Structure formats: structure tokens, C-alpha cells
Amino acid sequence: MNPDSAVATDNADMFQPSQHDVRRFFCQVWRRQRQGLALDPMQAQAATWIAEHPEYDMDLSDEEAALGADYRVENGRGNPFLHLSMHLSISEQVAIDQPAGIRQAVQLLAARLGSLHIAHHAVMECLGEMLWTSQRSGLPPDGLAYLEAVRRRARGPTAGNRPQRQG
């Protein structure tokens, strides 16, 4: 086997993990965290978000069940692995400020909402919308539209986007 091809395979696994790879990763982080074992930097970051979501403990505690679980929206359950993956994705975007300006937008949103965790959930809605639009249109994801959506949330309600009062 060519050593270069082994590296390429390893990189492919890192950048394009399968659904099972993602689920195993989070289940193993959950287990290692509970056992007090050392975590690498990515695992430590994942553990932070896992700790914010104790409602996922049952899903994370049984790796084999997690591998076979069906989290389709029609089944009435959110996908904890998608949710945690989005937290990691947003954390990475902020760390490297990509798209440029996302770090400041998320920081402003977290300050306005009083919580980085709540801000992440708002950003997830923007990220999900960008991905949904991309899939529907067949066009690449629009990072600038995503960034602007996060910035709008960071600015808060304005006359043009203030929620309608009920009642």
C-alpha cells in the first residue's frame, strides 16, 4: 500500500465522516467524559456541548442503539448527533472566523441574548436555512447570506423584522 494513499484515506475520514463515524465519536466522547478519561482538543470541545445537552444522555449512552436509531423529523424527534455536530461546526467557524465576520456576529448575538449556547441555537437556524436553500436551489451554500442572517439576529428586532405581537 502506498503510504500517501493511507494519509489520503485518513484525511477523507476526517473531512467526510459517515453517519456512523459521527455517532460513534459523540458516544465515545460521552463515555470518556463520564469515565474521567483524557480528551483530545476536539473531544473536549464536543464534551462542552454534550454537557449543555443532558437531554441527549440516553442517546449517547448506548452506542449500538445510536448507530441504528432513526431521527427523521416525521418520527417526532430531533437528531442529537446533527445538533451536536452543528454546535461543533459553529464553534469552528467562530474559531477561524470563516466566513469572515462570523466571530464578531456570534459574539454580538451571544452578548445580546446573554448566552453563547442560546446564540448557537439561533445561528443553527441561520445555518440550517442556508443549507436548505442550497440543497433546494442546487447552488453552493451562500456564506454571505448566512453571515447577514446571523448579523440581523445580533442586531435584534427592528421595525422591518420585529415579531408580530399576538393578542
- For 26-61, what is each residue's pLDDT tens digit? 999 999 999 999 999 999 999 999 999 999 999 999
Whether 3 has a pLDDT exceeding 80, the answer reads: no
Alpha-carbon Rg of the chain, whole angstroms? 18
Residue where the block lists cell 440543497? 135
The answer to whether 150 and 123 have CB atoms below 8 angstroms apart is yes
- Which pLDDT score is estimated for 75? 81
In 3D space, the residue among 133, 18, 125, 119 whose CA is nearest the CA of residue 78 turns out to be: 125
Domain ranges for the chain, please list them. 1-73, 97-156
- For 52-78, what is each residue's pLDDT tens digit? 999 999 999 999 999 999 988 888 888
